[in-house]
Amino acid sequence: MELVLFDLDNTLLAGDSDFEWAQFLISKGVLDKEVYEARNQQFYDQYKAGTLDIFEFLDFQLKPLARHSRAQLDAWHREFMDTRVRPMMTPKAQTLVKQHLDSGAVVAIVTATNSFVTGPIARAFGIPHLVATIPAQEDGAFTGKPRGTPAFKAGKIERVEAWLESLGLCWESFAKSSFYSDSHNDLPLMNKVGNPVAVDPDDTLRAHATGHGWPVISLR
């Protein structure tokens, strides 16, 4: 049995769903452009630099979810999928996912982006499992806070292991494990699997992958 894990943003997607969700809400007038656009870019730059404070970012990212009804959020998300996400789903990425699914592998997306944003994206790819940062809810409404450990950096290992445990599985259940990612932020999980694959990697990850003999591919 094989385990195949995919990062989402800038790996399976030719772009960042987290960043684009905030930009989408700004374009709808839901978020104030002057206040949120510069802050959104600042967080994105920090992520790329490896200096992001994940809890500070989640406070920024999740608060808008708490201000609106789930019905309204779902309606916005459907439009977001059509206008922002589907154009980022490249044929190469979809083909790679299908190959792994057809092989009978256990396939999951593992992403720091919250599950409200990423759940429909995982379903659009046909991927049955999602390990994502969880936005807390009470009585069907978002609280604006995360629940549990964010799926970020080493937190991805903790969250993947908890997910595997929920399936009655562990790392040793698999003859082969792979993780595809673009980001040096994912080096903890990439070092955990047997087959790390750098996908359109940032400069830091590319240098690390080259130095360790990891495959480097492009899905663009």
Is 202 assigned a catalytic role? no
Is 53 assigned a catalytic role? no
CB 92, CB 13: distance < 8 Å: no
The full length of the chain comes to 220
CB 28, CB 67: distance < 8 Å: no
Which residues are annotated as catalytic?
7, 9
